[in-house]
């Protein structure tokens, strides 16, 4: 079947794919099936730290590569990563909407209640609603999914991880929090990994954690210094295994 009805698009940063993101993406897929439209996830890549919406020191829950791999695991037609370069990051909200319509034939746009876009995050859900008649699309707002009465967000997950609350963070993430082996410098003879401070990946605070590498469980001690964080394992580790966090030890 050739789909000619335009596209149904889910938009978001999608850092640390959590249950709130999952609700949004699955609603987009459902809507694309109802309307026989192409299903597209649009996310963003920051090409410079000072173009990020928040602090330039913000660490990612998932690396950009891992985020894309998780998004591609959904049964959708396409995942698009828009580079927020010097030009795109200065688009007005209306210019950004026009791009969605002109470049991706957006007919349905699904976003979270707190979605912002455009230069200096000047656009929000109200902007999308105000311009939908002008540009011929329909916007659907996904209300917050809550955990213990608090709206689930990447900010909340990041806060929990930064506090070492691994179990709580894993409850909200689709996949357990993981540091991937290609994001580390590892000395397999000494069973020590190292994450440089310049790395954009989040590392939980100092302390002991129960982790899995492959099928084996380990106690891993995180000890930070001015250059980064040492990850010290309690026994021999196998090569090329991701570090999956289970809980505090």
Q: What are phi and psi of 63, to 5 degrees?
A: -65, 155
More confidently predicted of 219 and 58? 219
- pLDDT tens for residues 84-103? 888 998 999 999 999 999 99
Find the mean pLDDT for residues 40-44. 96
Is 80 exceeded by the pLDDT of residue 58?
no
- pLDDT tens for residues 125-182? 999 999 999 999 999 999 999 999 999 999 999 999 999 999 999 999 999 999 999 8
Distance from C-alpha of 169 to C-alpha of 215, rounded to nearest angstrom: 21
Domains of the chain: 7-150 (3.40.50.620), 178-248 (2.40.10)
246 within 8 A of 211, measured Cβ to Cβ: yes
Find the mean pLDDT for residues 64-85. 93
Distance from C-alpha of 233 to C-alpha of 120, rounded to nearest angstrom: 43
* Residues 6 or more apart in contact with residue 225 via CB below 8 angstroms: none
40 within 8 A of 155, measured Cβ to Cβ: no
Is 90 exceeded by the pLDDT of residue 34?
yes
Is 70 exceeded by the pLDDT of residue 48?
no
Single pTM value for the model: 0.90
Is 50 exceeded by the pLDDT of residue 47?
yes
Residue 133, pLDDT score: 97
Residue 65, pLDDT score: 86
């Amino acid at each position: 079947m050739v789909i000619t009805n335009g596209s149904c698009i889910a938009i978001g940063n999608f850092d640390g794919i959590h249950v709130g993101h999952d609700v949004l993406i699955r609603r987009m897929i459902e809507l694309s099936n109802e309307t026989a439209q192409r299903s597209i996830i649009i996310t963003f890549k920051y090409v410079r730290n000072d173009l990020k919406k928040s602090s330039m020191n913000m660490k990612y829950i998932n690396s950009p590569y891992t985020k894309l791999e998780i998004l591609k695991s959904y049964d959708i037609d396409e995942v698009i990563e828009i580079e927020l370069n010097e030009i795109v990051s200065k688009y007005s909200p209306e210019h950004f909407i026009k791009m969605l319509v002109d470049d991706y034939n957006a007919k349905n746009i699904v976003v979270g209640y707190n979605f912002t876009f455009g230069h200096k995050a000047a656009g929000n859900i109200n902007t999308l609603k105000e311009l939908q008649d002008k540009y011929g699309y329909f916007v659907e707002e996904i209300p917050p999914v809550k955990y213990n009465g608090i709206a689930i967000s990447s900010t909340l997950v990041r806060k929990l991880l930064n506090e070492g609350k691994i179990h709580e963070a894993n409850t909200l993430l689709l996949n357990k929090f993981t540091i991937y082996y290609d994001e580390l410098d590892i000395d397999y003879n000494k069973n020590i990994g190292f994450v440089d401070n310049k790395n954009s990946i989040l590392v939980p605070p100092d302390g002991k954690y129960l982790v899995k590498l492959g099928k084996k469980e380990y106690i891993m001690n995180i000890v930070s210094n001015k250059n980064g964080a040492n990850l010290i394992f309690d026994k021999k580790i196998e090569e090329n295994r991701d570090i999956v966090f289970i809980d505090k030890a």
